[in-house]
Amino acid sequence: MLCFHTSEQALHAPESEFFRGQRVPCFENPSRARFVEDALRAAGHPLRPPGVDSRAVLSQVHAPRYLDFLRTAWAQWLALDGANAAVQPFPSVWPVRTLRSDVEPANFIARLGLYSMDNGSPLAAGTWAAAKAAADAAASAAQALQAGERAAFCATRPPGHHAGPDFMGGYCFINNAAVCAQALRHGGAARVAVLDVDYHHGNGTQAIFYDRADVLFCSIHGDPRTEYPFYLGHADETGAAAGQGFNLNLPLPARAGVADWFAALEQALARIARHGADALVVSLGLDTFAGDPISTFQLQTPDFTRLGQRLARAGLPTAFILEGGYAAAELGCNAAAVLAGFEL
């Protein structure tokens, strides 16, 4: 399978994050992509850098002022104090209910809060370069499908499905799956389906396409009553305006078993078939693995092969976008298992 990777991913390497109220080393780190790249090479998949500039699509997916902030955030942080080069900025205030979000504050930390849904997406000097390169890979995958490839895989980071129209969160800055879907639409696909199989709901992708009928969003994830991102992902969220009926959430309880997970997958694929999609974008979160340190589903490596086989039977040109998965050593094996199943 054609696989894209980026050298820029290593530039996004923040040292710490906040997890359950404690400052800990980042779960989302450059080793994740390296494990995947090594497993793909071992399986004989060619890796190439992206060849498409995603800028034209980015402004269709994200608000311009958010992109401007993200592109310049680290320079703004250093402009406050040169010593900030050794300090990670974290937001500490957010424009929640009754507060205004239309006026951009002059204070940097306040701006960071304006464009963040949590304090779990730490910035680093190379964050923009890494995120932009991952978006370029997503656009390159779309172009490959349009050129006749059956499938393409983006072995990139940082992930993207929690990034919304004008906010970052959950380690995500640019929504790569949304970039790929939008690029497919621009390339002539009348209808696109996005299937998110990450343990955590793709709230950003849902928000981007919630009022649209041309992009169907389906997600299988942990119940938001107990699992991040908590405030979106319920079954009664079915779309709005023209998008009514084009959003399908299939939340499952923590520690859900393999049979229940695959039953939800069948529901999602049946809805995708009814959508009449010309192409499929898979937000391939691999944190559904039983050994993942921050998730509780029960899939084992052979189940990822089964997932790939079932996705292949959908018969659609398919772009795989790497999302979560934090059992880093097993991440590569599980990614390669999906691709092996798809190509059987």
Query: Strands 192-196 and 215-222, how do they pair?
Result: parallel
Residue 100: DSSP 8-state? -
One-letter amino acid of 311? L
Residue 121 CA to residue 73 CA, distance in Å, equals 13
Residue 47: DSSP 8-state? E
One-letter amino acid of 324? G
Q: How many CB atoms lie within 10 A of CB 106?
A: 7
Residue 71 CA to residue 55 CA, distance in Å, equals 12
Angle, CA 165 vertex, CA 84 and CA 226 arms, to 5°: 85
Unique residue bearing structure tokens 């959908």: 314
The answer to whether the beta carbons of residues 26 and 14 sit under 8 Å apart is: yes
One-letter amino acid of 332? G
Residue 210: DSSP 8-state? T
Q: 234: closest CA among 222, 245, 249?
A: 249
Active site residue 162: yes
Residues with Cβ within 8 Å of 232's Cβ and at least 6 positions away in sequence, in order, are: 201, 203, 206, 207, 224
**Which candidate in 5, 12, 62, 162 is catalytic?**
162
Residue 336 CA to residue 340 CA, distance in Å, equals 6
Phi, psi of 291 (to 5 degrees): -95, 10
The C-alpha R_g of the chain, in whole angstroms, comes to: 19
One-letter amino acid of 283? S
Phi, psi of 92 (to 5 degrees): -135, 0
Q: Which residues are catalytic?
A: 162
